[in-house]
Amino acid sequence: MERVSMLEFRRDAEAIMRKVQQGKRLVLTYRGKPVMRLEPIRDPELGPDDPFYTLAQLAIPGGSSLSNDEIDEIIYRS
């Protein structure tokens, strides 16, 4: 699988997104280490049961802010 550095992605995100839209799967690296995969979404329709859409239901009025890692843990690993 082709690797793309964070620097390359920042410099030319549009070209990299075009590659993904054409069906290519890429690995994004940060400081030489793989951190995530960039791949096309096979089913562009997200259903109402997608965890992303439950964010508002999980919010507590006046609650403290959460880090991205904490949000991911709550949504995707519950």
Other residues' Cβ atoms within 10 Å of the Cβ of residue 16? 19
Token look-up 């400081």 returns: 31
pLDDT bin (cut points 50, 70, 90) of residue 74 is: confident
Residue spans per domain, the chain: 2-38, 46-78
CATH topology of domain 2-38: YefM-like fold (3.40.1620)
Other residues' Cβ atoms within 10 Å of the Cβ of residue 36? 10
Report the alpha-carbon distance of residue 54 to residue 76 in Å, rounded: 11
Write the pLDDT tens digit of every residue in 5-64.
Answer: 999 999 999 999 999 999 999 999 999 999 999 998 877 676 777 777 777 777 788 888
